Amino acid sequence: MAWTVLAVGVLVLGQGVLAGGRELGELITVHEVTVLAFVVAVTVGELVRLPMPSGRDAAPLASASALAVAFLCQIDGEPDFDVPSGFVVLLVAAGLGIAAVVRRVRGGPAGVDQLAARLIGVAVAAVLTRDVGGDRGSLWDLTLDQDVPRPLVATSMVVVAAIGLVVEIVLSSAVRAERQRTPWSAALRDETGEVAPLTFAVVTSGPLVALMAPVFGLASLPAALFPLAITYVAVERYARNRMTYRQTIATLSQLTEHGGYTPVAHAERVADLSVRIGRLLGLSDRELRDLEYAALLHDLGQLSLRQPIPGGATVLAAPSDQRDIAVEGARIVRHAEGLDLVADYVEAQTTPYRQVRELGEVVPLPSRIIKVANAFDDLTGGRSHPRTSLAAMERIHLGLGYEYDPQVVEALAVATADAMVGRVQEREPAGR
Amino acid sequence: MTAESGGQSRPPARGTPATTVYIGLVAALGIGLTTAAVIREGLVIDGPLVVLGFLAVLTWWSGRIVVANNVTLTFSSIVLLAAMALLGPAGAGIVGILVGPLQRGKVPLRARVFNTGMSAALGVLGGAAYRAAGGPRDSSDVIGAWEIMRQIAIPVFVADLVQVAVNLVLLAGVIRVAGGAPMRNQMLRLLGSTGPAYLGYGVVAFLLVVLWQPADVGPASVALILPPLLVARWAYLQYAEEFKAHERALHVLVAAVEAKAPHLTGHSERVADLSARMAEHLGLRGQVVADTRVAGMLHDLGQTTLPTPLVRGGEDTGGDLVRSYPARGADLLRDLSFLSGSLDAISRHREAHLLEGAIETDDLPARIVGLADEYDLLTEVGTPDGAVLEPEDALRTLGGASERRRELVGALEHAIGRTGGPST
């Protein structure tokens, strides 16, 4: 899928070159200043990506600038931006490409397939604006015609921008689904759920630039993006707070490590593995967050044990002790309002799968995931040597259906076979 | 539109006759100015007035979101600024009258009356300032970046400044009349927190005006400008909600201590309370008071790293291991940047324990937490066999020879007095 998107992206780019190639040099010379301004805007917008609370990132300023290029018509102080849609694509591609290179040089992932998705979205918007039209010409022609009421032009632009962004979202969620091995529906749901408010803001910002340009010239670009910049700051703050929240939870998980009850980094590893399995099984962002917190806190109850369990490995403890630890952990977590669900997950993590199957007991999927991830980490001791993993998998398979949920164990097998599965980031994080 | 502290909605302080008179005067000023403007200019009820009036009424719905530290977020200033430019003094006065009284939530009537008078006055004076600074009645024909800056941006900025100034003067007046804090500090504080926000409001209002008239989009401009602002509002709401959740999550840390040491149940909360009151009484800054409270709450966190039998067997039996727990507690919290102000007090509070031969440290928050901790251990937690001291006896035991010590104990006495005995 990623390759398909990439291929289409390259095709669109090729078409851009062909359609624009005719008079490429001339177009660039004529629109020198405009081209420069927008390439810079797209590049900068792409470089100041906005990390979302869930860990993926969005580039609202780049999207808005790119869409503005598609709509751009008259510009005070500059010649009318009368260019073929291919030229628009080329311009945006240049901006995105420079940003990708800069990011690569800085040592980050270039994220080429996401860029391809964005480019295709902009291409759709540009074609709809400049090439498609009825008797009175394209939307671009209508924009040029001062007799057409501006509110009508504005509405059309917003609709076209929305179509372009929807294309981008669908494609990028497809890419993500492929990379994380998440069901596409889940990826699409997360993508729209989290990005929807931002998209809503971007949809009007592109048209805003184009509508102001006839009277305010190129100064419209920074001016019209100002409200979006406010949004950016607000979302960034929200995301940062989410990070500190997680850090607080992580600190809680370290209490047992400092007390010598659990091995160092055990909770972090179980959380990481649990989230990947959860993503593989199509849990929503919200559920994944609670799963992560519960996994971090799953051993918290060991804190009040009189004697540490050898090696902190609950998988080897007596079932009744395991249960006591889970209940105690949940009791502590319940002291915070709003973490009730997390406490439930912690509490149910020791219930054997048999009780779900035979007695119809309701055990939340996140709890079943933590049970499996915890067992795996206890058995491997956090070592990633293939032989250790294999032995641990074998051991877990022995408890299949009795102790562990087979569906979760299957996902575990996929996740341990490929370190990239179920990760939001494009590269494996360099150990915590 | 990122922040507004206090601002128009701050309800005037408790009702003295003087404040009532003052509020009446402000209301009369606002209505009077609006009437005068309408008589002088005439009032045409046209599309823009209806739309902006409607928006003014709608701003009650967006409410005021408390972001943090009394910083709130509102759309009404944007609507009012746009009205100054698009409608002139008379229309802006009318919009001000509409913005003023409508506020969601429990706002006392007197505050609503005050706000109505104030925002009407803001509207008229701001509208007049916009015109005086060269803003045209109708800016439809203003074209070109330079002309727009000169004829719209600068006048909007001037109107913005007038709005801030009038707002400050009227608010400072109400604080003065109510016999409140020194005016100068109050005004500086308000200006510091609202200044950048008003700049933001100004830029958004400017965009709205340019789009409305020169770019000829008309009332539909509102629909183009609003989405990003609504999203920002959404994000701030989420932020505020999570911020609270995060605060609550700190209580889990306390719960962890209490699970480890059941005899300390309630101790952390009480020490946090006492510490904060003492810090307040000693005149520490707001942020330091907050840090001291958190330090009081988490001062025993390090105990979770000790072996359970040692913790439950009563303190002071483990020698060096026990002595090291405050530092271990601070170590645990080292990664949490928002707690950095509390770490020293956490790791050094035990040094300040008088009964263990205190090395009087210079760290005031540490000494505060140390004393509050000691006092609560004596009066509430007690010795392992359950003996507790009466507050007076405890205070006598803790009272020291040095001047500094006496001052600290005085603060403690004051803090206990205010809680009416710290038992909860």
Checking if the pLDDT of A221 tops 50, the result is yes
Q: Among residues of chain A, what percentage have pLDDT more than 90?
A: 32
Same domain (yes/no): A199, A280: no
Chain A hits for B219, Cβ within 8 Å? 151
Higher pLDDT, B284 or A210: A210
Instruction: Flag whether A329 is in a domain.
Output: yes
DSSP state of A225: T
- For residues A410 and A415, give the distance between their C-alpha atoms in angstroms, rounded to a whole number: 9
Closest partner residue to A245 (CB to CB) among B216, B225, B246 is B246
Q: Find residues 176-235 of chain A whose CB sits inside 8 Å of chain B.
A: 197-198, 200-201, 203-205, 207-208, 211-212, 214-219, 223-224, 226-228, 230-231, 233-235
Q: Is residue B297 part of a domain?
A: yes
Of A200, A224, A248, which residue constitutes the final position of a domain? Answer: A224
**Considering its fold, how many domains does chain B have in total?**
2
Give the span between the Cα atoms of B132 and B155, in whole angstroms: 8
* Nearest of B264, B290, B268, B269 to residue B279 by alpha carbon: B290
- For residues B27 and B175, membership in a common domain is answered with yes
CA distances from A273 to A14, A65, A384, A398, B336 (A): 41, 38, 12, 20, 24
Among the listed residues B352, B363, B299, B359, the one whose alpha carbon sits nearest the alpha carbon of residue B326: B299
Asked if the C-beta of A305 comes within 8 angstroms of chain B's C-beta atoms, the answer is: yes
Domain boundary among B241, B272, B293: B241
Assess whether B86 and B34 both reside in one domain.
yes
Radius of gyration of chain A (CA): 26
Asked whether residue B235 is domain-assigned, the answer is yes
- Does B254 reside within a domain? no
Mean pLDDT of chain A: 84
Domain boundary residue among A193, A224, A255?
A224
**Is A177 inside any structural domain?**
yes
pLDDT at residue number B193: 67
pLDDT of the residue at B212: 92
**Based on the domain organization, do A56 and A141 belong to the same domain?**
yes
Structure tokens at A129: 């604006």
Say which residue the tokens 């501006």 belong to.
A150
pLDDT band at A127 (very low <50, low <70, confident <90, very high): very high
Residue B247 lies inside a defined structural domain of this protein: no
What is the span of the domain harbouring residue A194? 2-224
Record: contact A233-B2, CB cut-off 8 A = yes
Band (B11; pLDDT cuts 50, 70, 90): very low
Q: What local confidence, expressed as pLDDT, does residue A294 receive?
A: 94
Q: Are the C-beta atoms of residues A220 and A213 closer than 8 Å to each other?
A: yes
In a domain, A357, yes or no: yes
Q: How many CB pairs under 8 A join A and B?
A: 202
CA quadruple A413, A416, A417, A419: dihedral, nearest 10: 140
Q: What is residue A152's predicted lDDT score, i.e. its pLDDT?
A: 92
Instruction: Give chain A positions within 8 Å (CB) of B51.
Output: none
pLDDT at B146 over 80: yes
A204 and A290 in a single domain? The answer is no
Burial B36-67 (b: 16+ CB within 10 A, else e): ebbeebebeeeebbebbbebbeebbebbbeeb
Do A210 and A359 lie in one domain? The reply is no
Chain B partners of A226 at a C-beta cutoff of 8 Å?
Answer: 203-204, 207
How far is Cα A355 from Cα B33, in angstroms, rounded to an integer?
A: 76
- Gap between the Cα atoms of A243 and B175, Å rounded: 39
What is the number of structural domains in chain A?
2
Could you say which of A150, A224, A230 has the minimum Cβ distance to residue B218?
Answer: A150
Q: Which of A367, A381, A376 is nearest to A293 (CA)?
A: A367
Residue A92 clears pLDDT 90, i.e. is over it: yes
In whole angstroms, give the CA distance from residue A250 to residue A245.
9
Structural domain contains residue A430: no
Q: Does the pLDDT of residue A253 top 90, yes or no?
A: no
- Residue-averaged pLDDT of chain B: 80
Report if residue B253 sits inside a domain: no
What pLDDT, on the 0 to 100 scale, is given for residue A13?
67
pTM of this structure: 0.78
| Residue B248 maps to a domain | no
Domain co-membership, A172 together with A65: yes
Q: Note whether B199 and B333 are same-domain residues.
A: no
pLDDT for B159 beyond 90: yes
The answer to whether the complex's ipTM is over 0.90 is no
Quick check: is A423 in a domain? no
In a domain, A234, yes or no: no
The answer on A177 and A30 residing in a single domain is yes
User: Is residue A176 in some structural domain?
Assistant: yes
- Determine what percent of chain A is predicted with pLDDT higher than 70: 92
Which of residues B211, B241, B271 is at a domain's end? B241
Measure CB to CB from residue B242 to each of A200, A238, A258 and give the nearest one.
A238
Question: Which of A195, A224, A253 is where one domain is finished?
Answer: A224
- Strand B71-73 and strand B65-68: the pairing is antiparallel
B172/B297 same-domain check: no
Among B238, B107, B226, B83, which Cα is nearest to B163's? B83
Strands, DSSP E only, in B101-258?
Answer: none
The neighbour count for residue B189, using CB atoms within 10 Å, is 14
Supply B107's token pair: 């706002």
CATH of the domain at A262: 1.10.3210.10
Q: Is the same domain home to A277 and A142?
A: no
User: Which segment of A171-185, A303-317, A380-394, B125-139 scores lowest on mean pLDDT?
Assistant: A303-317
Work out the number of other CB atoms within 10 angstroms of the CB of residue A430: 5
**Pairing relationship of beta strands A57-58 and A133-134 according to DSSP bridges:** unpaired
Output the pLDDT for position A430.
Answer: 38
Tell me, yes or no, if B322 comes closer than 8 A to chain A by beta carbon: no
Give the domain extent around B130.
4-241
Are A165 and A63 within 8 A, CB to CB? yes
The reply to whether A189 and A259 lie within a common domain is no
The whole-number pLDDT of residue A292 equals 94
B268 touches chain A (CB under 8 A): no
Most confidently modeled of A66-70, B21-25, B62-66, B402-406? A66-70
Average pLDDT over residues B8-26: 69
What does the pLDDT average to over B242-248? 76
What does the alpha-carbon distance between residue A346 and residue A371 come to, in Å, rounded to a whole number? 10
Same domain for A171 and A246? no
For residue B401, give the CATH number of its domain. 1.10.3210.10
